[in-house]
A and B are shown apart, each in its own frame.
Chain A
Amino acid sequence: MSHGPHDHHGHEHDHPHEHEYEHGHTGAGDPALDLAVPDAELNPGQLRRRGFLQAAGILGAGLASASVLSGSSAFADEAVRGAQRARRAPRGGYSWLSGDHHIHTQQSSDAQYRVVDHVQHAAAFGLDWMVITDHGSIAHAKIGVEKVNPDIVAAREQFGEETLVFQGLEWNIPAAEHGTVFVHPGRNEVAVLQEFENSFDGVVTNTTANNAANENAALRGLDFLATSVTKGRVKDAMFFANHPARKGIDSPHEIRGWRERQPGIALGMEGAPGHQAAGIKAPTGPGSGRGFYDFSPTADSFQGYPLESYRTWGGFDWMTSTVGGLWDSLLSEGRPWWVTANSDSHTVYLDDSIRPPGQDTQAYFDANGRYGDPIHGTNGPATGSGDFWPGSYSRTHVGSEAFSYADVMRGLRAGRVWVDHGCLVDAVDVRLRKAGSRDPGFPLGSAVSARRGQRYELVIMIQTRSTPNWAQFVPSLAQVDVIRGSVTGPASDRDTFNAPDTAVVQTYDVSGRSGLITLSYDLGKLDDAFYVRLRGSDGNRTAVGLNGQGVYAAGPAMDVLGDADPWADLWFYTNPIWVLPA
């Protein structure tokens, strides 16, 4: 295998295996949190915690702002985003740890596997980190959230050298869709998740309906998570919105509201939903919409969304796949909001295990908080199941400085993230630097304070796939798009989902190339603030952009209902880098 310098696929974890568990916690009034108290006056424990919170971006100036811009006047300098965001990439590069933050077990009423079933598959498929996210429900809040923990702890013991296993849950966001909530491991992980679920889960608290009071309940839930961190109950916590456009119920103003309310907690959304096998043709597949995206507007939907938003495009959610669409409208405001890609694995396509008879009923689930362990079934492969095992199709790659829970969370928070499907490529590393310099440059997720008139370039390093993927073929990359948009500041309409200035500004035809592809894109002399992001594809299915030929000629095509082979339509997407005149 000819891996790139920063590739992590071979699991060469030559970095320290930190397992940072917290020891003890303090309540409010903690001097570690009060930046008016100088470091010298803190005891070693307080100092350590302050350092951790600052490094994680939770404490300090960085994430006091929900924007890369400095509020009213001039655009931000690095201080606005906090030291970590505008830091140059380390000389040796990052370890790109691939993961999945959306996975269901037998503790979900619509799923069936043990924790270890998922973890050993994920480890075998090369995932470095994963989050167990069973549905918020009355049974889960009461029983499942506790019952799953020993299984997770056991999996950490058994697989922790290869795969980090976080405990989280899939939050029924009040007034909105589902979302991943997860915390750093520690002795309060269950207590915090359970209290969160009992107090703020939409199903548990009957707050799913779309109204202002429930929208506020969602914000209170984010407040709770932030406070759980600052109080030291857990070392870190974060939230990502899942399958955001599926039913049209995550309105643009709710997404903006989450990020603004707790910018250190509310970090992004699934750029691509799970259930990627759901569009495989019947009768050998589910024959549904890819991602199980087959809904129509409901009374709770944001009625401004077009019908196109209810379908996937090249496997990706419309909010992400549409250049100049909702995601870009957030980025063009200067709002950090990251995308991920996950399995949402419940029941795996063609798997032949089943729930055990007698322990497979809703009554059993409600009484026990889980179904019995799966057994070998006799019905043959489950052609109607639409999911993949974690790691076998959807991957979220996080630029990390070490193999640890804390470092994965830091990387996610910083937006040092790219995603792909079907192992389209082995590695993507993007740096922004002064044109022609040897500067290591700034990585994905950065908001770089820059000099007006200075010429900048984007250095793009892509390692093509060297070994077969989990469908036994070697994907080939055909095209790479550079997407650029102006940063225009906060939108007056908080429900806007358009960024008319954002477009594909360069498409590289890289078909036939293999190994390390290095591209240099000249961004010109800096005038006004802008951001750039990338995507690429196997070139198998393309279409003119939803916002017209001028935005892009060969973007993702809408997936065909009941006929979407996920392996024949592969994309990668990166998160953005902002360039802001100082």
Chain B
Amino acid sequence: MITSQRFCVAGGWESTREAEHGYWAVRYLLGCGHTYVCTTFEGPERVVVSGADDLADLAEQARLFVFPGIANLVGATTVGDLLLVSAIDEVRALAGVVPELDDRIDTQDFVRPRVQGGRLVLTVQPGEHGYVPFEQPNPTPCCADHNVRHERMGPAGATSA
């Protein structure tokens, strides 16, 4: 469904990453370029991509892979800087920990905040050098070689477009 403000694509994708790639493949056909583009789950094995120009039009728990400033989120930075240069409203750590503005965060060039209570929230976890985003760019594949080291993905939103 495509409206002037919103669109929604259900491409039969099973994972959020497949859905992201699917979106970039058909984006020009859709002729849309929304400010916010996200994935949501609509039942088992059903990932849906939708977009809007207003964050308020996105579902709770929507996971964003396009949002203002995502291209700025590469390499390591601080929590405060991340909030300044992107549309992310808040950084939360797991287990109720509240990060300080000058805490270090390694973006791993892969940042996927979620809509929580109408705000764009990035959940982070402790890593080797400060925080890293909760969602990992290359989670260990299941039933594939566990000893394979994966290359970092490029800044997904920025480069695949």
Contact = CB atoms under 8 A, between A and B. Distances in A.
Interface of A: 108-110, 135, 137, 209-211, 247, 275, 278, 281-282, 286-289, 292, 294-301, 303, 307-308, 310-311, 346-347, 382, 384-387, 543, 546, 558, 560-563
A546 B148 CA distance: 33
B77 interface: no
B7 interface: no
A179 to B, nearest CB: 14
B45 interface: yes
A298 B147 contact: no
Contacts of B42: 299
B148 to A, nearest CB: 7
B147 A303 contact: no
Nearest to A249: B44
B136 A296 contact: yes
14 contacts: A108-B143, A278-B146, A286-B147, A294-B139, A295-B136, A298-B41, A307-B134, A346-B147, A347-B147, A386-B146, A558-B94, A561-B127, A563-B127, A563-B128
A311 B95 CA distance: 11
B109 to A, nearest CB: 15
Contacts of B132: 561-562
A346 B148 CA distance: 12
Contacts of A301: 41
A99 to B, nearest CB: 22
A300 B41 CA distance: 9
B126 interface: yes
B144 interface: yes
B44 A311 contact: no
Contacts of B15: 298-299
A206 B95 CA distance: 36
Given A298-B15, A384-B149, A561 B45 contact: no
B126 A347 contact: no
A287 B152 CA distance: 13
Contact of B128 (A287, A386, A387, A543): A287
Which of A286, A299, A386, A560 lies at the interface centre, i.e. has the most chain B CB atoms within 10 A of its CB?
A299
Interface in B26-59: 41-47
B41 A558 contact: no
Nearest to A296: B135
A451 B46 CA distance: 54
B151 interface: no
Contact of B44 (A135, A210, A386): A210
A109 B139 CA distance: 18
A561 B125 contact: yes
B27 to A, nearest CB: 21
Nearest to B41: A299
B8 to A, nearest CB: 15
A289 B140 CA distance: 9
A296 B134 contact: yes
Contacts of B139: 294-296
A386 B43 CA distance: 33
A135 B123 contact: no
B81 interface: no
A97 to B, nearest CB: 28
B14 interface: yes
B44 A209 contact: yes
A560 B128 CA distance: 7
A558 B95 contact: yes
Given A108-B143, A110-B146, A562-B127, 19 more contacts: A110-B144, A210-B44, A278-B146, A282-B128, A286-B147, A289-B140, A295-B139, A295-B140, A296-B135, A299-B43, A311-B94, A346-B146, A384-B148, A543-B95, A560-B126, A560-B128, A561-B125, A561-B132, A561-B136
A234 to B, nearest CB: 26
A414 B43 CA distance: 38
Contacts of B128: 281-282, 287, 560-563
Contacts of B44: 209-211, 299-300
Contact of A110 (B43, B45, B145): B145
B16 interface: yes
A387 B136 contact: no
B9 to A, nearest CB: 15
Given A209-B44, A299-B45, A563-B128, A546 B95 contact: yes
A560 B143 CA distance: 23
Contacts of A298: 14-16, 41
Which of B15, B43, B134 lies at the interface centre, i.e. has the most chain A CB atoms within 10 A of its CB?
B134
Contacts of B123: 307
Given A287-B128, A296-B136, A303-B41, A347 B146 contact: yes
Contacts of B47: 299
Nearest to A563: B128
A387 B16 CA distance: 28
A561 B145 CA distance: 19
Contact of B147 (A137, A296, A297, A386): A386
Interface string B56-71: 0000010000000000
Contacts of A287: 128
B107 to A, nearest CB: 14
A365 to B, nearest CB: 12
B91 to A, nearest CB: 14
A108 B144 CA distance: 10
Nearest to A385: B147
A317 to B, nearest CB: 15
A563 B129 CA distance: 9
A298 B139 CA distance: 12
B90 to A, nearest CB: 15
Given A287-B128, A296-B135, A303-B41, A384 B147 contact: yes
Contacts of B143: 108-110, 135, 137
Which of B16, B44, B47, B128 lies at the interface centre, i.e. has the most chain A CB atoms within 10 A of its CB?
B44
A553 to B, nearest CB: 14
A382 B147 contact: yes
Nearest to B145: A110
Contacts of A209: 44-45
A308 B147 contact: no
Contacts of A286: 147, 149
Interface string B129-161: 000101110011011111111000000000000
A299 B43 CA distance: 6
A109 B135 CA distance: 26
A277 to B, nearest CB: 10
Contacts of B94: 307-308, 311, 558
Interface string B2-22: 000000000000111000000
A247 B95 CA distance: 18
A558 B125 contact: yes
Contact of A311 (B16, B125, B146): B125
